[in-house]
Structures are given as structure tokens and as C-alpha cells.
Structure 1
């Protein structure tokens, strides 16, 4: 018994040393801290920081700042900056780059302008120390960024300019820090600048010229190895952070650059992004937040009035400087008050960069212990203020914004039902991932995978097989949070079966695979796809997905004349813009001037929209020449229409055969807008309309072409 008690005392000796016990305790903190403090309306981020204060070396001393904690917290900090670069909407960042530069300048200068005189005249520090303290005020760590992600506004332009401004100001701070310490040590030589410039150029060249090409090749060659994709990305992040460190910059700069370099290659709703965010938010980022709390020593407040006074001056000066910079940015660039508050919330927190600056200054003897202790209080309070301000601003922005970002008058808010008729389950993965990218994120309806069987087949057995295949694909895509419902139906006629199930589940969109090679009977009686188009009124997308969606460089959209007159034009444009935003690609639109005007009007209604480049087409009879020029990295989308529709063009006849002949290895999606087929009670009269008469001549032409091909092959 004594031996057991002795062993227990050894295991629970403070601080805890057993790595298994330490890891279990940290996981419990990550699990329970946000849940418990949420009841007190304290943001989860602050809950984790306060947990670090409580259980850290200056609290209950259960956890010690050791190499393992430092490693995980470093990964968490790099994760925050990497995800910030990865989620940044680059065309929006480019659009507001001058805003980012302006905010970066203001959030650097204003705290410096207030901090230097406060330290020099009020606190009485010398010139070098005051400059170091002013540099401390200019730092900012976007510790509240996960709050923005949680509310789904990470692509708001206020977030974009804050992220850009953060990188600019932190880069300026760290460069100035190198200069201050160099002047203090008397070692600021030409070699220092040459090393830094060469290293930065090397980092940018590797990350933006080499890494994207390697990543695209890697993802294409190892498409099924989803775990390898994550490991590859993680290694790129740390490689960039290391090169940045070698250059004399903070590793967070390299991590952010890595996010920018991979931004276009990792789609927002992809499997890879899902895994990056899951691992970061579940483990590494909470570790970082806990480690920040472990730095805080509340006993500094008991060291006398001088410590309290210094902490008070540091806190007020830092927050006022950041608040003034945010409000000036709001006023200069015309943002809303809530966006101004969001900018302040994201930029007000001081953590990693502040600690880096102050520890370097403390170890160099530039500042004293009072500034060090005051900085710890500044970190705690600024993180609390930043989190509260960010959460309040995010809620208001969400309530003010349009639901979903893009609403169509014909589509009920939040309702969309997508069905995937799949004959070959081996082709399910890419078409299912495509459907996730285009789906309305507000919709509560599952994506249904439909497999039609012969009436005499065993439906239960087939349903089990389909369910197993769907589960396998979902596990491979790591999309278990989404609802996919397998449906098996017995039907002799495929078109009739798809039509019946679509009506039963009130389907809005049918996403299909590419039709198989046309047989002689298809030429006589029409392809199955043609029959589905005739019998179904839903929007239909027919996909030939030859490559992964993250391997393309642009979307090429062809829209024939009068496409804008179609009933489902707005809905399909919304789907295309959603896809472009998700995989971060520009859209090159080929159409006439009237269609361009209609698209421009629709884009004005959309908050999240990709970059559109318009190319006016004068002669649509040259359509074959245009598609023949498609490159391997082009994702072609054709806005077609059912025969008899106002925008139907003769160049769209036999469209599947044309693509099979002209560009058999290109990725293409043919879209058909929804049409109104009338009330169900008139279904029995649907055969009595003019099109079957006009198709008679076409049928004979098909017979003639088929016979000619057979004779040609025989010869």
C-alpha cells in the first residue's frame, strides 16, 4: 500500500512530469474550459487563456513550461497565421491592398506615436527603451481570428485588410526590433542587411514559384492519399517558417506566406481544408492559447504601486493606439461602425509578437522587469478585450448581412435539394465533392445519391452496397459532418425513375456524370441524358471531372446569346460563383454584351464573388474553335439549354459528342437551367406537343449518320 501511495505521490508531484498525465490534463482543459466559461458568456479563447493562468506555473503549478508545451504552442501560433493566409480571399486582398497598406501604416504609427512619448515622458525611460516600448505597442497577434472563422465572416473585407495590415505591421515591428537590438549591441553591419534581403528573396521565390507547382503535381499524382496531402501541407508550413527564421524574421511571417502560396490550391470546402482546420482548432491552437495563459503571473500586481502604474499606462496606451488606428481606417475607407469594431477586435490583442519583442529587449538589457511584468498583464487584458470586441462585431455583421451571401428570388431561402443519379459507384467521389462545393450552405437537405435498379433486383442488398460505397467515399473525403443519403429505386426506365424520385424529394438540382459512348440504339431513340432533360424540369449539371478540382487555374464559362432570359439563369450563375469562390479561381466569361450586363447585375447582389473577366463573342458558330483552345488547367462550364428554349443554340446540339471528339481529355460541366414543365395533372398530355414532330427528321438524320459510320468502319 505504501508503495502504491509513494508511486501516486511521485506521479502527482507538481508540476506534473508524466507526459501521459500532462497530455490528458491539457485535453480535459481544451474540452471543458470553453464549455464552462461559455455559460458565463466568456469567449472560448479567453477560457483557454484563463485555464493556462490557473493551471500554469504561476497558478496551481500543475503544468510547467517545457519543450513539449513550447513545441505544440509554436505549432498553434503558426497554424493561426497559416490558416489566415489560406482563408484569405486573394482577389479581395488585391482589391483592397491599398486599404491593407493604409491600415498597416496606421496600426504601426499610431501606437508608436502614443507609446514612445508615454514611455519617455510619463514613465521616464531612456530613448532606446522608449522606442522598444513603442515597438511593443505596434505589435498585434490575431488571437481572435478563430472567432471570425466560427461566425463565417473570414472573407469579409474588414478581415482581409486586417490580416494584410497585421503582416505589414508585424514585419515592420520585427525589422525595427532587429535594428534597435543591433544599435544597442553595436553589431548592425552590412552583412546583417545582405543576409536578410537574400533570405527574404529566397523565401518568396521558393514559396510562390516552386511550391505551388510541386503541390499541384503532388495532389494530382497522389489524389487518393488524403493523409499524405495533410502531411505535405504541414511540412511546407514549417519549411517556410524555418526559412523565415533564418532570414531574421519571425516564423509567423513564413507561415502566413505558406498560406498565401497554397491559397489557390486548397479549396475552402475541400477535404484538405477540413483536416487542416479540424486538427488546428481541436489541438494545436488551444495549446497555443493555454501556453499564453501560462506566461501570466498575477502576483506582479502585488509588487507595489509602480508595477500597477506601469501596467496601467501600457494597457491604456496600447488599446487606445489600436482603437484610434481602427477608427481612422474605418473613417478613411468608408467602412461601417461594426467593421471598424471588428478591425479593432482583431488587431487589439498582443501575444506572440509582443512577447518576442519584450523578451528580446529584456534579455538585451534594454528594458527592466517592470515592463516585462506589465506586458504580461497587457497580453491578458488585450486578449480579453479583443475577443469580446471581435465576437460582438462578428454577431452584428452576421445579423446585418444577407443570408448566404447570394439569394435568388426564385429560390426559397435556405432550401436546396441535390440528387446525384449514379450508375457506376466508382465515379462517385469526384462528383460528390463537386456537389458539396456548389451546394447552398444554408440548406438542411441531404445530398441524395440515387442508384436505379431493375424491378426484379434485390433492393435491400443494393441499398446496402450503395450505403457502404457512400460511407467509404465520405470517409475518404473526411466529410462526415455532412449528410448524404443513399436512395435505391426500382425502375425500368432511367429517365422516368430520376424524374419520379426528383419530384418525390422536391429536388432542385440534378448533378450527373458524363454520358457513356453513344450506341447505335442511342442514335435511333436518343441518349438517356436527352430523355432526362425532356422529362425533368430541374436545373441539371452534367459533369466530366477528369482532374481534381484544386488543380485548375481558371473557370472558362461559355454563355450563348439570350442565356440571361432563361428562368434558371440566376440560380446557375450563383452555383458557378459559389464553385469559383470555394476553389478560389477566376471566371473567364465568354458571351455577348447583353449577357455580360445581366451577369454584372447579378454579381452586385452577391457578397462573396470571384474575379470575372469578360470576353465578348461575336460569332457563336466558332464555338468548336473556342473549346478546342481549352488548356489542361481550364475548368470549362457551358451554359446550355433544352431544345425549344429561348437560348438554345444549334452549336449545343450533340454537345457531348462534340466534346468527346474535340477535347476528350478536358474537364467540362454542361449546365441546363430549370424550366417549368407545368402542373403534374397535365403529365399525361405531355406527349402531345410539337417537339416530337420536329424530332422525326432529326431521328432519320441520326439513322443516316449511324449507317454511314457502320459502312465507313466496314470499309
Structure 2
């Protein structure tokens, strides 16, 4: 057993929070987003350099909670009308198809078999919504049309990435049927529709009814606890439907953000207090998850190639349709940059390929490292390039 597995819970949490403080200091020192500071410090204290902490069950659990809370809080700044637009669907489709094709062709060019090429392509499809959403929130850019486009497209992206994974696995097993594809497509759509309707017509009213009761007067924190419980229930049900739990918690936030409370503590404000430590732990965990000792000189070119293909294919695949669908050049480039991060879905797909014996260990490590590079690229592009050039965006616009 690894020595960090034997460390007490108190020590690991204290260390993670201390690293979080250090991450903010590092980010301030290098004039970058807190996300960059936390990931870099996670790399330093993790197995890559100092080895003070590894990706233990405690770190994994706290990071997962953090990701769910991030998207729950982000959801409060959006409405369904902002997200349900045809052009976001078009951007999401293009942002999945081009990386899939580019990854497949790259893998074939490198000599991997068709099954391995399918998995490498599939691993490059999904955007990590938590990374960009947090950077946009940190920069005060959530209330913009660009943010709506990125988040709306990322939701579509996540659904399509799951469909791609399902088709890829079925193709490897030689069992692709129209019915199986239809189920893969309809199941996540059904969840989103049911979750949204439940939030708008049941959960909202239930929260307001509880808020006006004597229980809320006696315990003002009761409604906040109830709201947080809803976020995790939505995440749980999303996972059951085959969607990322993060999409579930995001929809929970969108669903109940119009609730007007009279007697209870604010669900949003209470969640934002939780957001600070748990989001920091999530980003730190991305650095801890990586072990640079596994990166040999032989696979560095593969890591760089996958990172370049993943970044450019997503950037072009999302910015080009955004421009063709009416966005100005700057905003369309921002959408493309905001869709670059890869995260948990890329790792899940790579892990499935590895466990099936289709993907070799060096390819698995390369995808994980390339995902980390893509994650670090986005805050740099948004903060140092795109938003430095254009400081104001119009508020939400209806088209």
C-alpha cells in the first residue's frame, strides 16, 4: 500500500487546502488564472516531483464533489433559453466530429490498428466543461453570449462524446445496430428533458413551498441543504442515464436559479462558499493525478502530437462553425479556445481502451498527459490573449 494511503484524513485535507492557498499565491505571482496555479502546484506536490500526496480515495472523492459543486454553481448563471439554440448544437457536433476524425487518422498514420485508432479518436472528443466554466466565472465573463455558446456547446459535446464511446465499444465488439445507436442518442436527451421539466415545474415549487413554511423560519439553512441534495440527486440520475454527473448538477443549478426565497439562506450563496475549497481541490487533483515519472523520452513526441491534434481539431471544429453561424471573429475564436480542455471523459475513454487491451500503456499515458496540456492551454488563451484583446462583451442576446 502507498504510504499516502496510510495518512490520516485530517492530514490529507489540511495538505490539500494548504496547496490551494499556495496555488492562489503561485497564480498571482505568475499572473495567471487560479486554475493554472492549482494544477501546477498539484504537479509539484504530487508523485511527479515531491511525492507528498498521491491520488488517494480521499483526494478522488473530494475532487469529484468539487466538480459537481463547480457545475451546480455555474448553472445559477444560465437559463435554458440561453443554451437551447440550434447553433450551439451545430458547434457541439462539429467539435466532436473533427477531433474524432483527426485522432483516428493520426493514430492510423502512426501505425495503430483500426480498433486502437477508434479509441484514440474517441478520447479526443469530449470537452471538460468544469475547466472553462471556472475560468469564465473567475474572469467575470459568465454573463456573455460567448459563455452561453461555450457551455451550451459543451453540453451537446458531452452527450455526443458518450454516443461516440458507445459506438466505438460496440464497433470493437462487432455489435453496432440501429437500435443500440438510437438508445445511446435518446437516453441522455430524455434525461435532460425530464430533469429540466422536473426542475422548472416540481423542484422550484417545492422549494418555494418549503421556504414559506414554519420549518424554514426555524431553520433558515434547511432550503440550502435541500438544494444541495437536489444537485447530487441530479448528478446521480445523470450517471444512471449514461451522462456525466457534472451535466446533471449543472442542469440542477439552471433549473432552480429562478427560485425567490423569502425566509431561507440563499442556495447560490451557500453553494459558492463550498465552491471555493472544493473547486480548488478538484483542480489540484488534476496535477496530482499525473505522474511525470511515467513519461519516457520515447513517448514525448506522441504526447506532443496528440496534444496538438486535440487542441487544433477542437479549436477549429468549434470556432469555424461559430464564425459561419454569425459570431464575429474574436468571439468565435474564444468559443474555440474555451472548448479545448479535456478532462474526465478523455481519461474514462482511454481507461476503457486500456482495460479492453486495445490501447497500450504508452498511448494511455500520452492521452492523460495531452489532456493535462489541453487543460492548461485554455486559461492561458482566454486570460492572456482573447480577453486581453476584447474586454467587454454584450450581455445575453436573444436571436
TM-score (ref. length: structure 2): 0.87
Contact in 1 for aligned 2:73/2:268 (Cα 8 Å): no
One of 384, 387, 391 as aligned partner of 1:394: 387
Q: How far apart, CA to CA, are the structure 1 residues paired with 2:179 and 2:319?
A: 40
CA spacing shift, 1:249–1:371, aligned 2, 3 Å: same
Residues 138-174 of structure 1: per-residue CA shift (max 9 Å, x gap): 2111303222112222121111111111111121111
Q: Offset of 1:192 from its aligned partner?
A: 6.3
Contact in 1 for aligned 2:99/2:313 (Cα 8 Å): yes
Contact in 2 for aligned 1:199/1:246 (Cα 8 Å): no
Tell me the SS of whatever aligns to 1:299: helix
Q: How far apart, CA to CA, are the structure 2 residues paired with 1:221 and 1:342?
A: 42
Q: Offset of 1:60 from its aligned partner?
A: 2.0
CA spacing shift, 1:211–1:314, aligned 2, 3 Å: same
Contact in 1 for aligned 2:238/2:248 (Cα 8 Å): yes
Matched, 1:20 2:7: no
One of 62, 72, 75 as aligned partner of 1:72: 62
Counterpart of 2:71 in structure 1 is 81
Q: How far apart, CA to CA, are the structure 2 residues paired with 1:222 and 1:362?
A: 49
CA spacing shift, 1:71–1:251, aligned 2, 3 Å: same
Residues 200-245 of structure 1: per-residue CA shift (max 9 Å, x gap): 5763465233343233233333354442222212211221222222
Q: How far apart, CA to CA, are the structure 1 residues paired with 2:114 and 2:126?
A: 19
Matches within 5 A, 1:622-661: none
Tell me the SS of whatever aligns to 2:259: coil
Contact in 2 for aligned 1:175/1:249 (Cα 8 Å): no
Counterpart of 1:641 in structure 2 is none
Q: Offset of 1:252 from its aligned partner?
A: 2.4
Q: How far apart, CA to CA, are the structure 2 residues paired with 1:298 and 1:367?
A: 19
Contact in 1 for aligned 2:223/2:267 (Cα 8 Å): yes
Contact in 2 for aligned 1:136/1:354 (Cα 8 Å): yes
One of 343, 351, 368 as aligned partner of 1:351: 343
Counterpart of 1:214 in structure 2 is 203
Q: How far apart, CA to CA, are the structure 2 residues paired with 1:314 and 1:187?
A: 28
Matched, 1:168 2:150: no
More RCO (CA 8 Å, sep 6+): 2
Counterpart of 1:289 in structure 2 is 283
Matched, 1:136 2:123: yes
Instruction: Work out which of the two has the higher radius of gyration on C-alpha atoms and give 1 or 2.
Output: 1
Q: How far apart, CA to CA, are the structure 2 residues paired with 1:198 and 1:137?
A: 22
Q: Offset of 1:17 from its aligned partner?
A: 0.7
Tell me the SS of whatever aligns to 1:248: coil
Q: How far apart, CA to CA, are the structure 1 residues paired with 2:266 and 2:80?
A: 20
Q: How far apart, CA to CA, are the structure 2 residues paired with 1:271 and 1:199?
A: 33
Task: Return 5+ residue gaps in structure 2 as ranges.
Answer: none
Counterpart of 1:238 in structure 2 is 232
Matched, 1:115 2:115: no
Greater strand fraction, Structure 1 or Structure 2: 1
Q: How far apart, CA to CA, are the structure 1 residues paired with 2:181 and 2:13?
A: 42
Q: How far apart, CA to CA, are the structure 1 residues paired with 2:182 and 2:123?
A: 26
Counterpart of 1:40 in structure 2 is 30
Contact in 1 for aligned 2:236/2:248 (Cα 8 Å): yes
Q: Offset of 1:117 from its aligned partner?
A: 0.8
Q: How far apart, CA to CA, are the structure 1 residues paired with 2:388 and 2:156?
A: 27
Q: Offset of 1:260 from its aligned partner?
A: 3.1
Deviates more, 1:182-191 or 1:328-337: 182-191
Q: Offset of 1:181 from its aligned partner?
A: 1.8
Contact in 2 for aligned 1:16/1:63 (Cα 8 Å): no
Q: How far apart, CA to CA, are the structure 1 residues paired with 2:137 and 2:163?
A: 29
Q: How far apart, CA to CA, are the structure 2 residues paired with 1:83 and 1:372?
A: 32
Contact in 2 for aligned 1:153/1:394 (Cα 8 Å): no
Contact in 1 for aligned 2:77/2:143 (Cα 8 Å): yes
CA spacing shift, 1:55–1:246, aligned 2, 3 Å: same
Tell me the SS of whatever aligns to 2:76: helix
Matched, 1:375 2:375: no
CA spacing shift, 1:192–1:86, aligned 2, 3 Å: farther
- Aligned length, in residue pairs: 387
Tell me the SS of whatever aligns to 1:138: coil
Q: Offset of 1:104 from its aligned partner?
A: 0.6
Residues 185-210 of structure 1: per-residue CA shift (max 9 Å, x gap): 45668996797678657634652333
Matches within 5 A, 1:231-630: 231-265=225-259, 271-280=266-275, 282-301=276-295, 303-305=296-298, 307-392=299-384, 393-397=386-390, 399-401=391-393, 607-608=395-396
Q: How far apart, CA to CA, are the structure 2 residues paired with 1:334 and 1:200?
A: 28
Contact in 2 for aligned 1:104/1:169 (Cα 8 Å): yes
Counterpart of 2:221 in structure 1 is 227
One of 21, 27, 47 as aligned partner of 1:31: 21
TM-score (ref. length: structure 1): 0.50
Task: Return 5+ residue gaps in structure 1 as ranges.
Answer: 1-12, 406-606, 612-715
Residues 449-496 of structure 1: per-residue CA shift (max 9 Å, x gap): xxxxxxxxxxxxxxxxxxxxxxxxxxxxxxxxxxxxxxxxxxxxxxxx
CA spacing shift, 1:348–1:309, aligned 2, 3 Å: same
One of 68, 92, 99 as aligned partner of 2:87: 99
CA spacing shift, 1:295–1:362, aligned 2, 3 Å: same
CA spacing shift, 1:174–1:196, aligned 2, 3 Å: closer
